[in-house]
Amino acid sequence: MEIERIVTKLIKISSLSTHERNVADYIFTSLVVFGFKPIKQSGNIVLQIKGKNSNKAIIFDAHMDTISPGALSRWDYPPYGEDAGIKNGDKIFGLGASDNKCSIAVLMKLAVELKHKTPDVDVWIVFVCEEEIGGNGTKRFLEWFENQGHLNKYYEIYAVICEPTDMQEIRLGHRGNFNTQITVKGKSGHGSEPHEVKDQAIFETLKIIKELGKLEKSWIKKYSDAVLGNPSIAVTSINGGEFISPNKFPDSCAMTIDVRTTKKLDKVAFKLIEKCISKFNAEVKIIYNPAPPGYTSPDEKIAQIGKKLIGKVSIGKVSTDLCFFSELNIPGIILGSGTENAVHKPNEYCELKKMEKGLQVYKKLITLI
């Protein structure tokens, strides 16, 4: 089965986070047809291909889930369904095409080629769920991997996180990340009496946003990292009041913030946010699971090999599942075939030439480990 056919089929199957079962079943069945014995593991699909040297291993990690497509009216191509996966030139369009279904297709094709030629080292290919909402799939896989004794079995073990880098650079790390919801409580009242209604939730929310801006500036001075960069706080949504009641002050207003952390800040960031808003009548909670910073030293073997094969080395702006490998001291790189500029946007697409390059680079990487 060719890469183009695989990725087109994957795009047709909707796989929003926590609803990956159909695409997981397709991957599992396809691998069985190819002659493998994959494992269903807590929503993930795990495949081990034994190599000549059982003391070394490399893990390829790609996620099956996607974000929501948003407003379908903004799509010129169907995001999923039987009509999805339309090809235009070298591009194939659909939700998750680059993030991360093109990498899944590359890894499935890689598995087939490795079946005909035993790799030099053990190769693990894991297709994980729930990456978009905190990396739960990779965390569960690594817990299983360690509990099964595989982590201690290998003298050397490395990881490749197959997130989009256009196959033009490898990334050795990223900042940590967590999202919070802040709910501000106020008093409702009639819109004709703005000076009579005290503690207006929306105005109080604006005050909190100003305080968070000050907090971010203090973080940059105190917690910036020479490698990972500056921490940040971004307001990503606000919900207060109702359009059908424009003459009424709401008694609450909620907002979400996206927080990016460095190593020194990661463990204390949430408490600092709680302290920052403590003088307001507001509640704050974390939504989804936090992800710590991830980092691999450029001196690690896989980093050196990746640099040799690709050339450019950088630090990523977005969080990936690399951080969970870092917590277990498994050196890893971020390297994938997806087109980064197409990710999380309407009319997402992947490019066949980058997928073919990804396949060849992964094969070379295995031989050099």
- 255 within 8 A of 181, measured Cβ to Cβ: yes
Same domain? 160 vs 215 = no
> 201: domain CATH number?
3.30.70.360
pLDDT given at position 314 = 96
pLDDT digits (tens, 9 = 90+) for 27-47: 999 999 999 999 999 999 999
311 burial (CB, 10 Å; 0-12 / 13-18 / 19+) is exposed
Query: Residue 198: helix, strand or coil by DSSP?
Result: coil
Q: Which of 231, 266, 291 is the last residue of a domain?
A: 291
Same domain? 71 vs 156 = yes
Cα separation, 115 vs 40, in Å, equals 20
Same domain? 70 vs 200 = no
| DSSP letter string, 12-52 | HS--BTT--HHHHHHHHHHHHHTT---EEETTEEEEEE--S
> 75: domain CATH number?
3.40.630.10
Same domain? 195 vs 251 = yes
Residue 340's Cβ-side half-sphere holds a number of Cα atoms within 13 Å equal to 16
Confidence of residue 359 (pLDDT cuts 50, 70, 90): very high
Same domain? 256 vs 284 = yes
pLDDT given at position 243 = 87
For β-strands 176-185 and 252-261, DSSP reports them as antiparallel
Q: Which of 291, 324, 339 is the last residue of a domain?
A: 291
Report the Cα–Cα distance between both ends of the chain, in Å, rounded.
27
Task: Kindly report whether the peptide bond that precedes residue 100 is cis, defined as omega within 30 degrees of 0.
Answer: yes
pLDDT given at position 350 = 98
Name residues whose C-beta falls within 8 Å of residue 28's C-beta, 6 or more positions apart in sequence: 38, 40, 45
pLDDT given at position 289 = 81
pLDDT given at position 192 = 84
Q: Does the predicted TM-score (pTM) go above 0.75?
A: yes
Same domain? 29 vs 56 = yes
Token pair in block for residue 317? 């702006």
Domain that holds residue 227: 176-291
pLDDT given at position 365 = 98
pLDDT given at position 217 = 98
For β-strands 312-314 and 232-240, DSSP reports them as unpaired
| DSSP letter string, 90-134 | TEEESTTIIIIIHHHHHHHHHHHHHHHS--SEEEEEEEES-GGGT
Whether 244 shows a pLDDT value over 90: the answer reads no
Same domain? 15 vs 43 = yes
- Better-scored residue on pLDDT, 249 or 342: 342
Same domain? 170 vs 199 = no
Cα separation, 301 vs 314, in Å, equals 16
Whether 91 shows a pLDDT value over 90: the answer reads yes
Same domain? 270 vs 188 = yes
Whether 144 shows a pLDDT value over 80: the answer reads yes
- Residue 253, strand partner residues: 184, 240
pLDDT given at position 199 = 82
Number of Cβ within a 10 Å radius of residue 42: 15
pLDDT given at position 207 = 96
Same domain? 356 vs 320 = yes
Q: Which of 291, 310, 334 is the last residue of a domain?
A: 291
For β-strands 121-128 and 173-174, DSSP reports them as unpaired
pLDDT digits (tens, 9 = 90+) for 51-85: 999 999 999 999 999 999 999 999 999 999 999 99
- Residue 259, strand partner residues: 178, 233
Same domain? 99 vs 212 = no
Number of Cβ within a 10 Å radius of residue 221: 8
pLDDT given at position 194 = 78
Same domain? 183 vs 287 = yes
Cα separation, 43 vs 27, in Å, equals 12
If one counts the domains in the chain, the total is 2
